[in-house]
């Protein structure tokens, strides 16, 4: 029997013939499968998935109420990267509760991840700040300065960052801790998990931001950025639901009388 495989942020596994067929499917077919009406319906029966969607839609409020343009929007998504990094560290540390042998890996990987991921986010932050200010920022950039710039780039930014922290904390507690996901992973897997998600999402967002900012931040550009983020969030929530479905099916097979 093939054991489940988890690589990066992908939760797909080789569990049965259906999963094997899915992996062999064309990439376009796999993307379409995330928009299956039945899967979407199951996904949004979960209040936590609904909360994630609401947080993803919050920037619309920022645009309508606070008049945000592309710059604070991209800054918010950059700050979200930092939040994801913090929770990745927490995920790595939590693996110690399942296996104390992970201690040596955690002691090495956490500092390495903090440095490597921090440099990744720093370079990304320098780029979006230079793009937004047309390179007019004076002095040598540093991480604290980038965070301060991002926090001050749009009115009410702190509230939107707080919402992102809250939903990540809820997912961390409900899925990773309470459902015991920390028992089925290790620090190395968790270290690589955020990169694929961030690269995929932010390449698309940065391309949209370049168009929006260079065109004097038209409303359509800002709406397009929010649309990209919402669609990406929908796919991530659908992936989470598939993982929950597989866990439920595995539990039913192991304890048929409880099904």
Q: Is the dihedral of CA 142, 148, 151, 153 positive or negative?
A: negative
Take residue 103 and report the two structure tokens written for it.
């201690």
CA 160 – CA 119 distance, rounded (Å) = 24
Section 191-210 average pLDDT: 77
pLDDT at 245: 87
The whole-angstrom separation of Cα 92 and Cα 206 is: 29
Instruction: Write the CA distances from 239 to 80, 105, 245, 259, integer angstroms.
Output: 19, 28, 10, 23
Most confident of 29-43, 161-175, 217-231, 240-254: 161-175
Q: Which residue has the higher pLDDT, 120 or 215?
A: 120
Q: What is the 3-state secondary structure (H, E, C) of 182-226?
A: HHHCCHHHHHHHHHHHHHHHHHHHHHHHHHHHHCCCCHHHHHHHH
More confident call, 243 vs 161: 161
Are the C-beta atoms of residues 132 and 149 closer than 8 Å to each other? no
Quote the pLDDT of residue 52.
96
CA distance 144 to 185: 32
Residue-level pLDDT at 16: 42
| For residues 183-209, average pLDDT | 82
**Is the pLDDT assigned to residue 258 strictly greater than 60?**
no
Q: How far apart are CA 165 and CA 199, in angstroms?
A: 20
Summarize pLDDT for 113-157 with one digit per residue, the tens.
999 999 999 998 998 888 888 766 766 789 999 999 999 999 999
Q: Could you tell me which of 208, 246, 172 has the C-alpha nearest to residue 69?
A: 208
- State the distance between the two ends of the chain, measured CA to CA, in whole angstroms: 22
Mean pLDDT of the chain: 82
In this predicted structure, the answer to whether residue 196 has a pLDDT above a threshold of 50 is: yes
pLDDT of residue 257: 58
pLDDT digits (tens, 9 = 90+) for 7-65: 444 444 334 444 434 444 555 555 556 678 899 999 999 999 999 999 999 999 999 99
């Amino acid at each position: 029997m093939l054991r489940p495989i988890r690589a990066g942020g992908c939760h797909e596994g080789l569990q049965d013939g259906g999963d094997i067929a899915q992996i062999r499917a064309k990439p376009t077919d796999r993307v379409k499968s995330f928009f299956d009406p039945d899967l979407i319906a199951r996904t949004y029966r979960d209040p936590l998935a609904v909360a994630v969607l609401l947080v993803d839609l919050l920037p619309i409020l920022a645009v309508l109420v606070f008049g945000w343009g592309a710059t604070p929007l991209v800054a918010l998504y950059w700050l979200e990267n930092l939040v994801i990094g913090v929770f990745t560290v927490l995920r790595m540390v939590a693996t110690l509760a399942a296996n104390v042998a992970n201690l040596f890996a955690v002691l090495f990987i956490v500092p390495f991840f903090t440095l490597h991921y921090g440099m990744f986010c720093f370079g990304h932050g320098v780029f979006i700040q230079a793009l937004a200010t047309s390179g007019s920022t004076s002095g040598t950039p540093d991480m604290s300065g980038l965070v301060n710039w991002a926090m001050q780039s749009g009115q009410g930014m702190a509230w939107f960052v707080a919402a992102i922290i809250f939903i990540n904390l809820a997912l961390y507690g409900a899925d990773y801790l309470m459902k015991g996901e920390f028992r089925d992973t290790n620090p190395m897997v968790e270290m690589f998990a955020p990169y694929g998600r961030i690269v995929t999402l932010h390449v698309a967002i940065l391309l949209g931001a370049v168009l929006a900012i260079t065109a004097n931040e038209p409303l359509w550009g800002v709406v397009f950025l929010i649309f990209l983020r919402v669609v990406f969030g929908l796919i991530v929530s659908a992936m989470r639901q598939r993982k929950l479905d597989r866990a439920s099916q595995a539990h039913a097979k192991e304890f048929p009388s409880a099904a």
